[in-house]
Copies of this chain bind each other. A is one copy, B any other.
Amino acid sequence: MERPHQWNLRRERTQVSEQLKKFMDEKIPLLDNHFSELFNGKNYPEILHEAMAYSVNAGGKRIRPLLVLAVLQDLEVASEDAIQVAGAIELIHTYSLIHDDLPCMDDDDFRRGNPTNHIVFGEATAVLAADALQTLAFEQLATLQHTDPATMLAILKAVSIASGASGMVGGQILDMQGEGKQLSLTELEEIHIHKTGALLACCIESGALLAKVSESKMEILRTFSRHIGLAFQIKDDILDVTASTEQLGKTANKDTASEKSTYPALLGLEGAQAKLEDHHKQALDALEEIGLGSSLLARIGDYIINRNA
């Protein structure tokens, strides 16, 4: 049997440029290897260990860690800690998915084509496995071996702010509160800037911190991040309407069923597509400003809007 990760990758390769394909072919095995070494090196209680590794190894697009690594490659800076930082942010993302899928939250039985964590391990173990993944992310960021302490602390601060109540978790709450309500475009953006945008932006910021970019370059990278984050969410909303459950590896039409405000619901499918392209353009314009118009970040931007899952 193929690993679900391979299954995901093969299907998604169709929307990926040659440059990005080469980068993914190189980096994704490094990430997979990093995660196996990380878990092999730990002496956790067996069932907790399995539950944590299950969701981390379920694959997915790995967009977040790829963003961290892409920034560094685009800026031509090597960091031996890049994989560990990238991996830590993926652990945060993974913990949030496990909690999101719980019966008391989105109540999802499938994720990335596989049964969700609580379906396999039970709710209590899923809650705790996710908790421990969050903790492990911070442990990983606090134990980088090749980065100066000030940069480590800057990354730790950025990741904690992006993933907590002012960022990702705050966005999940806003998202829940918005269910069944007719939201304005501003309110919808507010949700997504927090729920998905903050952590995506944090990937780029963390890579840029490792690369020690100037504050002016950082500011432009933040503009890129903001647009690419919104583009990512608009594309997710569009796919929820247009793609099949099999294609997504998770339940399609979930947003309509749960009466969530989405970009297509608010702007129509064509309006949402136009908005997506507008954010894509603004993201690429920002990259042009700092000479990164042909960069990996630009190609990840393309991929985010062209993907079909």
Q: Is the CB of B139 within 8 A of A157?
A: yes
B165 near A44 (CB under 8 angstroms)?
yes
A69 within 8 Å of B by Cβ? no
Q: What mask results when residues 106 to 142 of chain A are scored 1 for a CB within 8 Å of chain B, else 0?
A: 0000000000000000111101101110111011001
**At the interface, yes or no: A218 with Cβ under 8 Å from chain B?**
no
Docked complex Cα distance between A52 and B165 (Å) = 9
When the two chains form their complex, are residues A125 and B173 in contact, meaning their CB atoms are under 8 A apart? yes
Q: For residue A248, which residues in chain B have a CB less than 8 angstroms away from its CB?
A: none
Give me the 5 closest cross-chain CB pairs, A-B, nearest first. Answer: A135-B164, A149-B149, A139-B160, A104-B123, A142-B156
Copies of this protein chain in the complex: 2
Task: Among B105, B127, B143, B156, point to the contact of A124 (Cβ < 8 A).
Answer: B105
Q: Which residues of A contact B (CB under 8 A)?
A: 42-45, 47-49, 52, 95-96, 99, 102, 104-105, 122-125, 127-128, 130-132, 134-136, 138-139, 142-143, 149-150, 152-153, 156-157, 160-161, 163-166, 169-170, 172-174, 176-177
In the complex the two chains form, what is the Cα distance from A214 to B139 in whole Å?
23
Q: A44-B165, A47-B173, A153-B153 are known contacts; what are 14 more A-B pairs with Cβ within 8 Å? A: A44-B170, A47-B177, A48-B170, A52-B165, A99-B128, A125-B176, A127-B127, A128-B169, A131-B131, A135-B163, A138-B138, A139-B160, A142-B156, A149-B149
A150 & B153 in contact (Cβ 8 Å cutoff)? no
CB contact under 8 A between A165 and B49, given known A149-B150, A150-B149, A157-B143:
yes
Which B residues touch A177, using CB under 8 A? 45, 47
A45 touches which of B122, B142, B165 (Cβ 8 Å): B165
Take A42-B165, A135-B160, A170-B132 as given contacts and tell me if A99 and B125 are in contact as well, using a CB distance cutoff of 8 Å. Answer: no
In angstroms, Cα B243 to Cα A129, docked, is 33
